[in-house]
Amino acid sequence: MTKRLRIDGERLVRRIAEFATIGGTAAGGVNRQAFSMEDREARGKLADLALSRGLKVTQDQAANLFIAFPGREHEKPVLIGSHLDSQPSGGRFDGALGSLAAFEVIETIADAGLDYSLPIELVIWSNEEGSRYAPGTMGSRAFADGSLPKDIETLKDGEGKPLSSEIAATLAALPEVSVVGLGKPIAAYLELHIEQGPILEAENVEIGAVSSIQGTRWFDVRIQGETGHAGTTPLTSRRDALATLIQSLAELQATIMPRDADARFTVGRIAVEPASINAIPAVATANIDIRHPSTEYLDTIEELLQSTLNKYARSNGCTAHLDRIFDMPPAEFDPEIVSCIEEAAIELGFSVKRMVSGAFHDALSVQPLAPSAMIFVPCRNGISHNEKEFVEPVNCVAGAATLLQSTLNAITKIARLHETEVQTGNQKKMGTAL
Ligand code: HGY
Ligand code: MN
Ligand code: MN
């Protein structure tokens, strides 16, 4: 279909360094939280780069950003992309690598003058992280559901800013970019991302062909006790909410992960009220993140959360509430697209292995809509969601080259399937015509 296209690795590495300055932190990470000024600046920078090349830029009501070759609106594109929002104390590659590599693919095709023959479109999903406004993968889920989050008017961040006004301000920050409806037909989806774990580096493998993603659940915990005087209230009269939370979390930390190597249990946030040094905590809250490849095991962990909180709430005269605020079941990616990735890596001379993703990604939201899969590259010591996150330039370039070739392979495979459909008249598994 096309002579061997080669991405411009220098341009990609330079772009990653440029975008890392947007929300850049003194320790070399980024703080570019969803719908923040920094997120808007990064979206705007990419939109300007695209517009200056004559590409078509649109954004939907969830502030997902799309970049396409003009004149191809009538087709079902192969969508490639990732996210630009970050953790509050995040790394410069999580999301940004996949986003900028996707743009590098678009630019490489445009530079080669092939942009009118390839139905490829770039997406920057909004609020993948879910740290400022839970849950994560908010933009891609809105795209897949065709609707905005139900609590968009009531959900507020830590400073009391409503999600609705922050999304509106993000859209308004790009007045030259038209706002389109949520969702559209796509032929396939590919996402490049850093592994955020230690496997590829430990096994010295250059490319991960991600075949599935483990499940994730998030919870709000609220323990209700009674405040009182720190000096005069004896133990027998205390209804200490924080004591209940600490005893529960200590037991859960000591059981969940030690019991099962695949289980993940993380408490990322806790808070107390009235938060006074000499007043017994009346309320203790926490956010819990659990992960596992098996839905049944996630159910087991959730039951253990509930029973453990209830046990210590009873013994401390408190009440405990556990609310599930995010549930991302485990999912398999499309084997044909996974093969496109493996074939691309081998064609390019990279070592490659199939693997499960420990992190969730926007590809999870998209995979029910169209054949999807992900490409991983190693990151130093498997560190991510940390300002020390680092990916060697050679691995950034290998990932982007594999994204380009995988996308071309997917287009060829989908076109071939379409031809077969036309000849035999029956609908095949992997997506439909472009
Ligand atoms: O939390 C996650 O798994 C993703 O990296 N945001
Ligand atoms: Mn990410
Ligand atoms: Mn992340």
Going from the N-terminus, what domains does the chain have, and what CATH number goes with each? 2-213+330-422 (3.40.630.10), 215-328 (3.30.70.360)
pLDDT in tens, 398-429: 999 999 999 999 999 998 887 877 777 765 55
pLDDT in tens, 143-190: 999 999 999 999 999 999 999 999 999 999 999 999 999 999 999 999
Task: HSE, CB side, 13 Å, CA atoms: give it for residue 158.
Answer: 10
Categorise residue 160: left if φ over 0, alpha if ψ from -120 to 50, beta otherwise: left
Q: Kindly give the distance from the C-alpha atom of residue 359 to the centroid of ligand 2, in angstroms, as a whole number.
A: 8
Q: Closest residue (by CA) to atom 5 of ligand 1?
A: 359
The ligand 1 atom at the shortest distance from the C-alpha of residue 136 is 6
pLDDT at 142 over 50: yes
- Percentage of the chain with pLDDT > 90? 91
Residue 276: is it exposed, middle or buried by C-beta count within 10 angstroms (0-12/13-18/19+)? Answer: exposed
Q: Kindly give the distance from the C-alpha atom of residue 147 to the centroid of ligand 1, in angstroms, as a whole number.
A: 22
pLDDT in tens, 203-262: 999 999 999 999 999 999 999 999 999 999 999 999 999 999 999 999 999 999 999 999
Measured from the alpha carbon of residue 359, the closest ligand is 1
Maximum Cα–Cα distance for the chain, whole Å? 85
pLDDT of residue 115: 73
pLDDT of residue 433: 41
The ligand 1 atom at the shortest distance from the C-alpha of residue 289 is 1
Q: Please compute the mean of the pLDDT values over residues 56-69 and round it to a whole number.
A: 97
Is the preceding omega at residue 135 within 30 degrees of 0, hence cis?
A: yes
Q: What are the start-end ranges of the H helices in 68-128? A: 96-111
Looking at the DSSP assignment, which residues form a beta bridge with residue 178? 58
State which amino acid sits at residue 28: G
pLDDT in tens, 118-134: 889 999 999 999 999 99
Nearest to 334 by CA among 427, 404, 431, 417: 431
- Two structure tokens written together for 1: 């279909």
Nearest to 128 by CA among 112, 141, 115: 141
Distance of CA 380 to the CA centre of its chain: 19
Nearest to 406 by CA among 93, 15, 7: 7
- Percentage of the chain with pLDDT > 70? 97
The ligand 1 atom at the shortest distance from the C-alpha of residue 216 is 3
pLDDT at 434 over 90: no
pLDDT in tens, 291-320: 999 999 999 999 999 999 999 999 999 999
Cα–Cα dist 170/59, whole Å:
10
Cα–Cα dist 176/174, whole Å:
5
- Which mutation among 33, 194, 196 tests ligand 1's pocket best, with the greatest number of atoms within 8 A of CB? 196
Cα–Cα dist 321/302, whole Å:
13
Assess contact for 251 and 306: CB atoms under 8 A.
no
- Which mutation among 127, 129, 326, 364 tests ligand 1's pocket best, with the greatest number of atoms within 8 A of CB? 129
What DSSP string describes 407-420?
HHHHHHHHHHHHHH
Q: What is the pTM of this model?
A: 0.92
**Residue 334 neighbours by CB distance under 10 Å:** 20
Interior/surface letters 207-227, b for 16+ CB within 10 angstroms, e for the rest: bbbbbbbbbbbbbbbbbbbbb
Q: Kindly give the distance from the C-alpha atom of residue 337 to the centroid of ligand 1, in angstroms, as a whole number.
A: 22
The average confidence (pLDDT) of the chain is 95
